[in-house]
Chain A
Amino acid sequence: MSAPVSPRVLRALLPPLSLAALLIAIFWLQPRTMSYFGLNLLLNLAVPIALATIAQMFILCVNELDLSIGAFVSLVACITATWLHDAPLLGVLALAGLVAAYAGLGALIHLRNLPSIVVTLGMSFVWLGLAVLVLPTPGGAAPDYIRSLMTLKPPIVPFPIIASVVLALAVHVLLMRSAWGTVLRGAGGNPQALARAGWSILRIKMTMFALAGFFGVLSGMALVGLTTSADANIALRYTLLSIAGVILGGGEFVGGRVSPIGAVIGAVTLALAGSFLSFLRLNPDWQIGAQGAILILVLALRVLISRGEVRR
């Protein structure tokens, strides 16, 4: 009651504060990153990770979990680097088909009341297998327009920052500020209530999965735009990164409690954590471990804050 800042606000501030702390630490360790070029280099790979994290967020929002998003992004990358480059029509059709497949998965999981963890684990095999079939050996080429978009050099503010801000705000308006978005989130909070109010939970789940598929496709395309070539294993680690990003950004596993802005911040934080650790000259053996430790640290901070929330 006498606390100057309410725990709710503190909780919302935790993701941006973690990011700011990390950025300050990086600037301090390596002042040369504090430039247009440095920031561009630092944040480049955060864009596809942020897109994949947003995809995962849509799934988490309806109380499901997608363990196949990494394999899915890899498959999209393979298709983008081959079909979309060589035969654009076929490529577009294939990518649209993938989004439809995601909607179908949502329907299957809902209708048969299947555990999404197991279904998506199975799908990760399917996506990976298809990726190997599309592109057996690493290679391919990025379509020129994606390449030129991802290497855009706008004045003053580096492209990755603009892309992240636009992405966060667009999804925020769509999901948090629109009537439609409120209904979508309601399916995670109280599906029974929504169903009684006359909304189709099936349609909502399909929409959310389709949105996830759509952002997964964007993630794969953005990734190929940066790397210019693809291979079947290019984005496998995105599965874990995306889940961690949503949680870091203040999302919860159940209850439709997610935050698009937080998710983008969480993804950028995770992407930066890697650079931070290499600037620290940390023994490379401990790099992955340190990422896990950062995740645990942020979650511990959140527990402390939530305790205050309960006490009030």
Chain B
Amino acid sequence: MTATLNLLKQPWVWAWVGALGVWGATAAFTGGQGAGEVLRAALTFGAFYVIVALGQMFVVTLGPGNVDLSIPACMTLAGTVAMKTMAGAAAMIPVGLLIALGIGLVVGTVNYALIRLLRIPPIIATLSSSFIYQSAAIWWNRGLRVKPPAALADFTTAKIAGVPVIALCVAVLAVAGHVLLTRTLYGRGVVAIGQNPRAAHLAGVGVERIRAATYILSATLAGLCGYLLAGFSGGAALNMGEEYLLSSIAVVVIGGTSVAGGFANVPGLWGAALFLFLLVTMLNTFGAGAGVRMVLTGLIIIGVIVAASGTRRRT
């Protein structure tokens, strides 16, 4: 009984409740038809959200003003360069992965260098640098859509016992992220900085080193997501990262991580990612047009944030 009560107090529960509710509503509307299919699609697309949201969560937890707006551009750049280098050859898959991760590493380093050297707010730093990454991606791929190696495409769409393999892999990644956040010096350092950077510094936390690692981690995960997404959707497109700007932030916040920093949790990321995808699916099933769908998505995101802030204040 107390276990259930404790569970209800967790900030991430509401994202899961929302996801289940939306899925239930969709299933009820269709009379249970295709509910399994919808869930499978949600797990696949949710997995991509979770990869970038994991990085964004660490960045947001650093405190007010810390947001990585270069995630979409980084995804696009990593995806295009990796696809072009692999040129569809299965033997090149590990090389492509290394290139994607390497691009993320470089992007993260540049982002942090701008923040540190120019002392500009991370929002503007990642925003201005993202223009440059986006241009680099356009210049590199020249509008060509290179097909991913068949083996990579198969991997991203494979299923074990009906469950998408990529969702399983990202679940493992999320567990690693959870351990990183709650059980390591680095993760505790991120949370400490988010709560009070000065106190963290005085307590001996290497503030700048941790900030650097966080921006690099976020960009590297974006690179990984770009690589996998390009494999999944049959090649890298120049606008493939677009929707991940809003969703990476929305997933983090709906998942119960504090936007003011200092409080984060990983389970909420999965709940929120499923919620976001299932919400759009539900509105689609109900036959809502594009306009109504967008209005409702926006209102529901705001509604969730208002509700979440209310519960947080009472405790």
Taking beta carbons and an 8 Å cutoff, which residues of A are in contact with B?
A: 65, 108, 112-115, 117-119, 121-133, 136, 240, 243-244, 247, 253, 283, 285-293, 295-296, 299-300, 303, 306
Contacts and interface: CB of A to CB of B under 8 A. Distances in A.
A118 B251 CA distance: 11
B301 A289 contact: no
A196 B171 CA distance: 50
Contacts of A288: 131, 134-135, 138
B306 A125 contact: no
B131 A125 contact: no
B260 interface: yes
B182 interface: no
Interface of B: 65, 67, 114, 117-121, 123-124, 127-136, 138-139, 142, 246, 249-250, 253, 259-260, 289-299, 301-302, 305-306, 309-310, 313
B305 A114 contact: yes
A262 to B, nearest CB: 15
B291 to A, nearest CB: 4
Contacts of B129: 292, 296
A306 B293 CA distance: 47
B interface SS class: helix
A126 B294 contact: yes
A121 B249 contact: yes
A157 to B, nearest CB: 33
B295 A118 contact: no
Q: Which 6 A-B pairs have the closest CB atoms?
A: A289-B135, A292-B131, A129-B294, A125-B298, A129-B295, A132-B291
Contacts of B249: 117-118, 121
A244 B127 contact: yes
Given A112-B310, A118-B259, A286-B139, A243 B290 contact: no
Given A121-B250, A125-B295, A303-B119, A285 B138 contact: yes
Given A119-B305, A296-B114, A286 B260 contact: no
Nearest to B114: A296
A299 B291 CA distance: 38
B301 A122 contact: yes
Given A129-B298, A253-B123, A295-B128, A113 B114 contact: no
Given A285-B138, A285-B139, A118 B305 contact: yes
A123 B302 contact: yes
Nearest to A252: B121
Contacts of A285: 135, 138-139, 142
Nearest to A283: B139
Contacts of A125: 246, 294-295, 297-298, 301
A124 B298 contact: yes
A244 B291 contact: no
A115 to B, nearest CB: 4
A78 to B, nearest CB: 11
A253 B295 contact: no
Contacts of A292: 127-132, 135
